[in-house]
């Protein structure tokens, strides 16, 4: 492969196997994985942010914020590795917490090195001892991290963790950064084959963000496409907090899917983890190329659904509407849904609609063609000569109305950019919004642009002063 990929992408491609798996890096070396595990609220995500040098993982001073295993690209002293954040592990968890623990156990079993984080201010608990027994069965190198050692006095508390039988505790303060460099040196010693850091842009699979309200089925869709439990799913709304990235093969090609936190109403009034989760979702939309907006087809389309769609359109991303939970539909609801779409989604008639069921797998094969069509429209460029020939015919047949005794003339048009397509029209005067909407509608009728927003701006010619 000539394209350079992010490290976590290379790791997942290696898990998928295939001819490309061995060529995901320059030196054909697999990127090692460092998993951060521990019981709830010991500071795992704070440590991840400290190692990354940025606020990537959502952090709040309550247990259970992180639920999925989330991979990040990390470097230290010119060496690269994948850092995997996990949810809090508990031995006898049930319900949602059991699913979170299963994700953490998956990380323990598939990592090259495990950072086992313990709260040094509390000391070793029964849960920590149960986790140690599980780690011994995993047969991977384990580095014991004594977190929350904020000063020299805290190092004395850290010495009490020797009795866990995992060797020397590494005292750190993930909040203040104390000892984090020494910890990373120990990590690199345990990862002798970590490839060197490289620079430059990368290509790779097209980026897809799964967007929608809470509990609409985003994580269920990702799990169904990936054919494994990649995101924790529960009936409780707001299960996903951190964006979860996965490489998934759909329609014969690889896609980089990002499962995001559900967008709620009144985000400005949100606080804590919910507020930061909304920021991560907004960043995921900006980083995506196409957004799949999931709508619960069994419920009426509401204002929040429209707000989510508007956020995608305003960001200029390709759009596919996935009407989920189709298995819950009856004939009466289908008739009502068609009316709701005509009424509530009238501003985006260009968006493709796919009726799916993430639970049963209904019509998921239609998702890839819809995304490919939307991305083709998002990338499309119209030659200037062809665009102006079309515009001349339209203006001749439907000239701009005369206002105040004046009629603006359209002189020239060009496509300034793509992703999304952006057009500039040069005129002798102001063009009314209604006329611009007319031009956009006719532009789509002629050239398509199915699944992609387009931008049309007007530049008035300034008269030269005598």
Task: Tell whether 204 is in a known binding site.
Answer: no
Task: Tell whether 149 is in a known binding site.
Answer: yes
Task: Tell whether 88 is in a known binding site.
Answer: yes
Residues 33, 195, 203, 48: is their CA dihedral positive or negative?
Answer: positive
Task: Tell whether 218 is in a known binding site.
Answer: yes
Task: Tell whether 95 is in a known binding site.
Answer: no
Task: Tell whether 310 is in a known binding site.
Answer: no
- Residue 438 is predicted with a pLDDT of 94
Task: Tell whether 213 is in a known binding site.
Answer: yes
Report how far apart, in Å, the C-alpha atoms of 418 and of each of 74, 320, 385 are. 32, 18, 17
Task: Tell whether 216 is in a known binding site.
Answer: yes
By CB atoms closer than 10 A (0-12, 13-18, 19+), residue 219 is buried
Q: HEC states along the chain?
A: CCCCCCHHHHHHHHHHCCCCHHHCCCCCCCCCEEEEECCCCCCHHHHHHHHHCCCCCCCCCCCCCCCCCEEEEEEECCEEEEEEECCCCCCCCCCHHHHHHHHHHHHHHHCCEEEEEEECCCCCCHHHHHHHHHHHHHCCCEEEEEECCCCHHHHHHHHHHHHHCCCCCEECECCCCECHHHHHHHHHHHCCCCCECCCCCCCCCEEEEEEECCCCCHHHHHHHHHCCCCCCCCCCCCCCCCCEEEEEEECCEEEEEEECCCCCCCHHHCCHHHHHHHHHHHHHHHHCCEEEEEEECCCCCCHHHHHHHHHHHHCCCEEEEEEECHHHCCHHHHHHHHHHHHHHCCCCCCCEEEECECCCCECHHHHHHHHHHHHHHHHCCCCHHHHHHHHHHHHHHCCCCCECCECCCEEEEEEEECCCCEEEEEECCCCCHHHHHHHHHHHHHHHCCCCCCCEEEEEECCCCCC
Task: Tell whether 77 is in a known binding site.
Answer: no
In sequence order, the β-bridge partners of residue 354 are 322
Residues 6+ apart with CB under 8 A from 117: 36, 37, 38, 42, 43, 44, 47, 145, 147
Pair 349, 449: CB distance under 8 Å: no
CA 416 to CA 360: how far, in whole Å?
A: 43
Task: Tell whether 45 is in a known binding site.
Answer: yes
Task: Tell whether 33 is in a known binding site.
Answer: no
CA-nearest of 356, 351, 327, 326 to 341 is 351
Task: Tell whether 406 is in a known binding site.
Answer: no
- Residue 45 is predicted with a pLDDT of 84
CA 241 to CA 243: how far, in whole Å?
A: 7
Task: Tell whether 219 is in a known binding site.
Answer: yes
Residues 6+ apart with CB under 8 A from 287: 207, 209, 258
Pair 258, 288: CB distance under 8 Å: yes
Task: Tell whether 262 is in a known binding site.
Answer: yes
Task: Tell whether 148 is in a known binding site.
Answer: yes
Task: Tell whether 212 is in a known binding site.
Answer: yes
Domains in the chain with CATH codes: 7-190 (3.40.50.300), 206-378 (3.40.50.300), 384-460 (3.30.300.20)
Q: The sheet that has 422-427: what strands, in order across it?
A: 410-417, 422-427, 455-460
Task: Tell whether 203 is in a known binding site.
Answer: no
CA 316 to CA 285: how far, in whole Å?
A: 9
Start-to-end Cα distance in the chain: 61
Task: Tell whether 217 is in a known binding site.
Answer: yes
Q: What angle do CA 78, 83, 84 make, to 5 degrees?
A: 175
Task: Tell whether 185 is in a known binding site.
Answer: no
Task: Tell whether 162 is in a known binding site.
Answer: no
Task: Tell whether 327 is in a known binding site.
Answer: yes
Q: What is the pTM of this model?
A: 0.66
- pLDDT tens over the chain, length 466 residues: 344 555 555 555 555 544 443 333 344 457 888 989 888 888 888 898 888 877 766 555 555 555 567 788 888 877 888 888 887 777 776 666 677 667 778 778 778 899 999 998 888 888 888 888 888 887 788 999 999 888 887 888 888 888 888 888 999 998 888 888 889 889 988 886 656 555 444 457 899 999 988 888 888 898 888 887 765 555 555 555 455 778 888 888 899 898 887 776 555 555 455 666 677 778 788 889 999 999 999 999 988 889 889 989 999 999 999 999 999 888 888 889 989 998 989 889 999 999 999 989 999 999 999 999 999 999 999 999 999 999 999 999 999 988 777 888 898 889 988 999 999 999 988 899 999 999 999 999 999 999 999 999 998 876 655 5
Task: Tell whether 86 is in a known binding site.
Answer: yes
Task: Tell whether 358 is in a known binding site.
Answer: no
């Amino acid at each position: 492969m000539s394209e350079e990929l992010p490290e976590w992408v290379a790791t997942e491609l290696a898990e998928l196997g295939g001819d490309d798996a061995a060529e995901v890096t320059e030196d054909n070396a697999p990127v090692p994985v460092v998993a951060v595990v521990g019981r709830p609220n010991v500071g795992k995500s704070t440590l991840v942010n400290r190692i990354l040098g940025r606020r990537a993982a959502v952090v709040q001073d309550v247990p259970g914020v992180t639920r999925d295993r989330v991979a990040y690209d990390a470097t230290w002293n010119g060496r690269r590795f994948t850092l995997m954040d996990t949810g809090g592990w508990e031995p006898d968890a049930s319900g949602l917490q059991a699913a979170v623990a299963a994700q953490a156990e998956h990380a323990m079993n598939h990592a090259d090195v495990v950072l086992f984080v313990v709260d040094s201010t509390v000391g070793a608990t029964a849960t920590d001892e149960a986790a140690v027994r599980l780690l011994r069965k995993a047969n991977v190198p384990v580095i014991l991290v004594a977190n929350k050692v904020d000063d020299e006095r805290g190092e004395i508390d850290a010495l009490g963790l020797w009795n866990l039988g995992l060797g020397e505790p590494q005292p750190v303060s993930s909040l203040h950064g104390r000892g984090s460099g020494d910890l990373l040196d120990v990590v690199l010693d345990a990862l002798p084959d970590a490839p060197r850091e490289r620079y430059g842009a990368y290509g790779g699979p097209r980026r897809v963000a799964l967007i929608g309200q809470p509990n609409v089925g985003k994580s269920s869709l990702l799990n169904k496409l990936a054919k494994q439990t990649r995101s924790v799913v529960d009936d409780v709304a707001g299960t996903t907090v951190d964006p979860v990235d996965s490489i998934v093969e759909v329609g014969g090609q690889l896609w980089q899917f990002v499962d995001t936190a559900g967008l709620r109403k009144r985000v400005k009034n949100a606080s804590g983890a919910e507020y930061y989760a909304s920021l991560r979702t907004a960043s995921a939309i900006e980083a995506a190329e196409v957004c799949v907006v999931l709508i619960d087809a069994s419920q009426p389309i509401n204002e929040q659904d429209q707000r989510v769609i508007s956020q995608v359109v305003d960001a200029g991303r390709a759009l596919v509407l996935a009407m989920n939970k189709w298995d819950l539909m009856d004939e009466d609801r289908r008739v009502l849904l068609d009316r709701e779409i005509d009424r509530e989604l009238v501003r985006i008639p260009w968006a493709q609609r796919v009726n799916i069921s993430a639970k049963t797998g209904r019509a998921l094969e239609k998702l890839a063609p819809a995304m490919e069509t939307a991305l083709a429209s998002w990338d499309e460029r119209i030659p200037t000569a062809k665009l102006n020939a079309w515009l001349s015919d339209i203006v001749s047949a439907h000239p701009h109305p005369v206002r105040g005794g004046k009629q603006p003339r359209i002189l020239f048009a060009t496509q300034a950019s793509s992703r999304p397509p952006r057009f500039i029209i040069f005129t002798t005067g102001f063009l009314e919004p209604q006329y611009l909407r007319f031009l956009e509608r006719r532009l789509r009728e002629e050239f398509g642009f199915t699944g992609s927003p387009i931008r049309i701006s007007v530049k008035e010619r300034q008269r030269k002063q005598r």
